[in-house]
Structure 1
Amino acid sequence: MDVKELGSAWLLRKDWSFETEPTVHDKEQYGKALLTCAAGGGEISQEQREWVKGYFAAFGSPQELIETLDAYDGQESLESILSQSEAATACSRVLIYDAIRACSTDGKLEPGELARIRKANRLLGHDDQVVDDWVEYYQEEVRMQERRTKLMWPDISKRPY
């Protein structure tokens, strides 16, 4: 196992309790679903696209997939995307959480983005409470990350990197 594979396997185990890695095809459909939700705000912001690309790069995705996600316009229907990936259905609650994170990375979760997340959620067989719970969780997580940063760096200007 090379370093890239080791890092990807560690992250998948740590964050999602995965024992194996999704296929490149499943990663592509999952990434397209995230970007399609982000496009619900009118366009995919640079921050949103960079988050999705970085997310999949962290999971050891090949360069070709990152390039595909970089060029993807988010205009494909969620029905089409989700029907092409059994993994998206199997990981449906994770997908909803990741969509909230990807859409929020530019500092706001737009109504159109939230509407697309809710649509994906319904297509995946969940009621709206799942989205509401994940939004609340994400907001708590952001507050905890801010707190952690303040604990590590009371004066952020003094961090070494």
Structure 2
Amino acid sequence: MTTNREIGYRWLFKDKANFGALPSDEAFDGYMKALLICANGDGTLAPEEREWAVGHAAALGATDKLVDELKTYKAEGDIEQIIGADHASSESRRYLIYDAVRACSADGEYSDKERATVIKMGAKLGLSEELVREIEDICLEERRLREKRLKLLYPEGSPL
């Protein structure tokens, strides 16, 4: 029987990535760990970046075990091996770069050092610098549109 939470997670995945089903626990594991490795590629994983990734995993329905593990995960290792361990996570390399830009921006900035790190991680995943920059542009444009939407819909600030 499908739970209400599963209905919600399916809706989120459909809205986020046009998935027709929920990813397996193995796909979640590889993807989320690879995300933290990518965000930590410069050797600095800001608390806000980790919190973004942990919250993102929890919001999308990752297991409690994985969410707890991500809270202290060292975010080191071979990103190619970790994301490549599962077909669905391996096929989500471009989305990983998208989410990495979002995670790296969670502390309020997306520095040149972070940009260089994301490009380097993209190269390790077989993605060209041009493609990584296209993904980055979309992500940053969406962030600007989000800010514009929030200012329009809540001109006095968030009610909660």
Inter-partner Cα distance in structure 1 for 2:74 and 2:115 = 18
TM-score (norm 2): 0.90
Offset at residue 94 of structure 1 (A):
1.1
Q: What are the Cα deviations for residues 68-89 of structure 1, in whole angstroms up to 9, with x where unaligned?
A: 1111011112133133232222
Question: Which residues of structure 2 form unaligned runs of 5+?
Answer: none
Q: What is residue 47 of structure 2 aligned with on the other side? A: 46
- Do residues 155 (structure 1) and 135 (structure 2) align? no
Q: Which has the higher helix share?
A: 1
Maintained 8 Å contact 1:48/1:102: yes
Q: What is residue 132 of structure 2 aligned with on the other side? A: 131
User: Percent identity over the alignment?
Assistant: 35
Offset at residue 11 of structure 1 (A):
0.3
Offset at residue 17 of structure 1 (A):
0.5
The letter for the 2-side match of 1:72 is Y
Offset at residue 126 of structure 1 (A):
2.3
- Do residues 35 (structure 1) and 42 (structure 2) align? no
Inter-partner Cα distance in structure 1 for 2:23 and 2:93 = 14
Tell me the matched-pair count: 159
The letter for the 1-side match of 2:134 is D
Inter-partner Cα distance in structure 1 for 2:30 and 2:151 = 37
Offset at residue 90 of structure 1 (A):
1.0
Q: What is residue 142 of structure 1 aligned with on the other side? A: 143
Question: Which residues of structure 1 form unaligned runs of 5+?
Answer: none
Of 4-13 and 120-129, the range deviating more from structure 2: 120-129
TM-score (norm 1): 0.89
Is the partner of 1:160 in helix, strand or coil?
A: coil
Is the partner of 1:71 in helix, strand or coil?
A: coil
The letter for the 2-side match of 1:94 is Y
RMSD (Å), alpha carbons? 1.6
The letter for the 1-side match of 2:159 is P
Is the partner of 2:71 in helix, strand or coil?
A: helix
The letter for the 2-side match of 1:132 is R
Inter-partner Cα distance in structure 1 for 2:37 and 2:116 = 11
* Runs of 4+ residues over 6 Å off in structure 1: none
Inter-partner Cα distance in structure 2 for 1:112 and 1:81 = 23
- Return closer, same or farther for 1:96/1:139 CA change in 2, 3 Å cut-off: same
Inter-partner Cα distance in structure 1 for 2:112 and 2:144 = 21
